[in-house]
Amino acid sequence: MTLPTVDGLRFVTVGQDDELAEPLMAELAVEYATRYGGTPEKVSSWLRGYPAAEFEAPAGGMLIGVLEGTPVTGGAFRRFDEHTAELKRIWTDSAHRRRGLGRLLLIELEAEIAARGYRRVYLTTGDRQPEAEALYEAAGYTRLTDPLPADGEVYPIAFAKELQP
Q: What is the average pLDDT score of the chain?
A: 92
Distance of CA 151 to the CA centre of its chain: 19
Q: pLDDT-derived band of residue 5, with 50, 70 and 90 as boundaries?
A: low
pLDDT tens for residues 50-87?
A: 899 999 999 999 999 999 999 999 999 999 999 999 99
Q: How confident is the model at residue 143 (pLDDT cuts 50, 70, 90)?
A: very high
Digit-coded pLDDT (tens) for 20-37: 999 988 999 999 999 999
Q: HSE (CB half, 13 Å, CA atoms) of 36?
A: 16
Is the pLDDT confidence value at 141 over 60? yes
SS3 144: strand
- Single-letter residue type at 68: E
Q: Which domains does the chain have, with CATH numbers?
A: 10-162 (3.40.630.30)
Mean pLDDT of 124-135: 93
Distances (CA, A) of 22 to 16, 52, 144, 154: 8, 13, 31, 24
Which residues, 6+ apart, have CB-to-CB distance to 61 below 8 Å?
13, 55, 76, 77, 109, 112, 113, 116
Note the pLDDT of residue 6. 74
Q: What percent of the chain has pLDDT over 70?
A: 96
Task: Specify the pLDDT at position 120.
Answer: 98
